[in-house]
Amino acid sequence: MNGDRGKRDSEFNIFDVKSVEEFIERMKVILNSSLEGELKEQLRKLRIEYKRDEQNAINTGITAKIEERSKEWICPRIPKWVDSDMLTALGVVGSIMIAAGFILGFFNKYYLILVILGFIINWFGDSFDGSLARYRKKTRPNYGYYIDHIIDGIAVFILGLGMGLSGFFRIEIALTFIIVYILLILHVELVTYVQNEFKYSFGLFGPTEVRIIGMIATVVLFFVPVKYFNVYGHYLTQYDFALLFVSLVMFGILFTSVLSKGIELDKIDRKRWKKEE
């Protein structure tokens, strides 16, 4: 009898409200844990890690694996007379094309095609200069690190200036975007210096993902007319609001990244105190 009663107590009763609530709670726990596990597994699959000279390079961007496979296929097919410096210069040319496309595209939208072509050329030059050097085993760690990252800053400046000088965006908002982006680059460089770990991306988004978003935004610019809004005597376009939102999101990413990295480095340094005591 006791066994039957225990069996009945353990059975799920659909007419008992408490049993239904407990069942729902159990299902939530199961689903959350399985979804969390699946999400972590998918993020792990996206993650790319390799040696970049003496540094540990990590890319968790959405396009990381596709980009690495494209490098493996394209690098052997790049003509021998093309070297890494040429590709770096090509990346700068792409930035100039983007800037020119924004400025001229305000007067004739067909010039916005230059922006999309510029993003593609900039991606090719910026992504393949170091990859080509590693493929050919002709790396210059100090020169490459310095040139690559100073050029990144210059490219962002050119791009942002082109946006600000166009009629699509106010110069103040474009400069805000430039400053936040360069601060993110600075954060990555400092982490590389103190931990020898170069991160290409923040979560699922890296430079390649930003370029893709930029190309999609350019298509929107082509088809959607500019509208002006009077905000306390300042005329802003809908694209100003969008760029300001992007800048705020980037600043949020920067703030949380600096905070978490600062806490991590503080703990690492404090452990040394105990060892020295």
Mean pLDDT, range 67-96, rounded to an integer: 93
Average pLDDT over the chain, rounded to whole?
Answer: 83
**What's the sign of the alpha-carbon dihedral 80, 84, 88, 94?**
positive
> Smallest Cα–Cα separation from 114: which of 123, 122, 106, 105?
105
CATH classification (class only), 58-264: mainly alpha
pLDDT in tens, 182-211: 999 899 888 888 888 777 777 677 888 889
Higher pLDDT residue, 117 or 32?
A: 117
Which residue type is seen at 259?
L
- Domains of the chain, by residue range, sit at 58-264
Q: Please list, in sequence order, all residues whose beta carbon lies within 8 angstroms of the beta carbon of residue 89, skipping any fewer than 6 positions away.
A: 125
> Please, which pLDDT band fits residue 9 given cuts at 50, 70 and 90?
very low
Of 39-53, 95-109, 224-238, the range with the highest mean pLDDT is 95-109
Which residue type is seen at 271?
K
Q: Please list, in sequence order, all residues whose beta carbon lies within 8 angstroms of the beta carbon of residue 148, skipping any fewer than 6 positions away.
A: 88, 129, 130
Partners of 228 in the β-ladder? 237
